[in-house]
Amino acid sequence: MATIAAKKSVFEMNDLEFEELVKPVALKAKQTALDNGAWFSYKNELCTEPDMFIHEFKDGHKELIKLGSGAGQHTVLKVF
């Protein structure tokens, strides 16, 4: 299916075709960021407030964080 999706415009793709197209790029970007010392941020069911995120690090540990009022400020609520 990847070859079919790659020949279509993204505006003509269904959700599955679009996901198939972008997933390898997203995974590579995530791994590159982790390899360069950055973390990967996302939301899941633990993020019960708009300013809460999960930070995932290269070594596999994760932190539930809450953003602070200043740029780059956050509080670690849980480490797992």
Q: Cβ distance 43 to 52 under 8 Å? A: yes
| pTM score above 0.75 | no
Contacting residues for 79 by C-beta, under 8 A, at least 6 apart: 61, 62, 63, 64
Task: State pLDDT tens for residues 8-41.
Answer: 899 999 999 999 999 999 999 989 999 999 998 9
If you average pLDDT over residues 61-70, what whole number do you get? 94
Across the chain, mean pLDDT equals: 90
DSSP3 helix / strand / coil % (the chain, rounded to 5): 35, 25, 40
* Residue with token string 């070859």: 3
Say what the pLDDT of residue 26 is. Answer: 93
Q: Cβ distance 75 to 68 under 8 Å? A: yes
- 43/47 Cα distance (integer angstroms): 6
Give the model's confidence band at 6: pLDDT under 50 very low, under 70 low, under 90 confident, else very high: low
Say what the pLDDT of residue 8 is. Answer: 86
